[in-house]
């Protein structure tokens, strides 16, 4: 399981950074992707155990930049064995359907879908070409419980993650003959910088109370699940979506 070549999108902070650290700790070499903060990504790389890690950058919503970034990661690492699609946006502004104007509604949907779904699909297509050439690989998508429970304040985000789940399950079937597995994790709230504003004060207490454990997830917990789903032992989990929300939302 060691010395694999890993690309983790959105890994300059938060969950992605924890995922990059988990793979590096297992002896793998990681391409740390960022959108527009190369310095932050370089600090992540400098802190990873082992060597041979690299920084790559691209706006995931830009198809040409995506292809260049994935090809660069494969070139620098000497191939691609694992892709973790973590980069996503919750949306810059809330957009409840009864509270926003039509133009803003359209813009938020375009921006969110372009990044979270279409952009991720493009990253996946590019990575798959390298995996097929190498005889196989692993793809793990970072989804969300919002794909199942709904996100009334951020419906574009919930829909994008539901689409990501459908994409992953479609590709799990399509890519199995090529020895490529596709699985997903679906976290609830996780204690990251991006979630910090939501986790303060009374709002934070209410969020923590959603789980019977009285807390939110930790990045390392998400990373451990991703590491397993990318392992050789997890081939039979292809197509699965693993809920990681501390029993805060149970689906049937």
**Active site includes 157?**
yes
Placement of tokens 């980069």 in the chain:
87
Residue 92, both tokens: 């810059």
The residue annotated as part of the active site, out of 90, 102, 157, 249, is 157
Burial 157-192 (b: 16+ CB within 10 A, else e): bbbbbbbbbebbbebbeebeeeebbbbbbbbbbbbb
Active-site residues, by number, are 157
């Amino acid at each position: 399981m060691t010395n694999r070549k890993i690309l983790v999108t959105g890994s300059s902070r938060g969950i992605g950074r924890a995922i990059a650290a988990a793979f590096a700790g297992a002896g793998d070499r990681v391409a740390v992707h960022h959108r527009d903060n190369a310095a932050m990504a370089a600090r992540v790389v400098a802190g990873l155990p082992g060597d041979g890690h690299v920084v790559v950058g691209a706006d995931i919503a830009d198809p040409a930049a995506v292809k260049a970034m994935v090809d660069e990661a494969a070139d620098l690492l000497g191939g691609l064995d694992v892709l973790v699609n973590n980069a996503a946006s919750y949306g810059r502004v809330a957009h409840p359907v009864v509270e926003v104007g039509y133009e803003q509604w359209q813009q938020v949907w375009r921006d969110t879908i372009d990044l979270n779904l279409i952009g991720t699909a493009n990253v996946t297509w590019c990575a798959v070409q390298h995996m097929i050439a190498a005889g196989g690989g692993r793809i793990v998508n970072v989804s969300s419980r919002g794909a199942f429970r709904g996100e009334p304040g951020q419906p574009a985000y919930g829909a994008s993650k539901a689409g990501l789940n459908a994409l992953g399950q479609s590709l799990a079937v399509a890519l199995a003959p090529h020895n490529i597995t596709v699985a997903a994790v679906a976290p609830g709230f996780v204690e990251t910088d991006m979630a910090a504003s939501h986790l303060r004060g009374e709002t934070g207490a209410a969020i923590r109370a959603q789980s019977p454990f009285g807390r939110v997830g930790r990045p390392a917990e998400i990373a451990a699940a991703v590491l397993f789903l990318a392992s050789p032992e997890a081939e039979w989990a292809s197509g699965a979506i693993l809920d990681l929300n501390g029993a805060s939302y149970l689906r049937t």
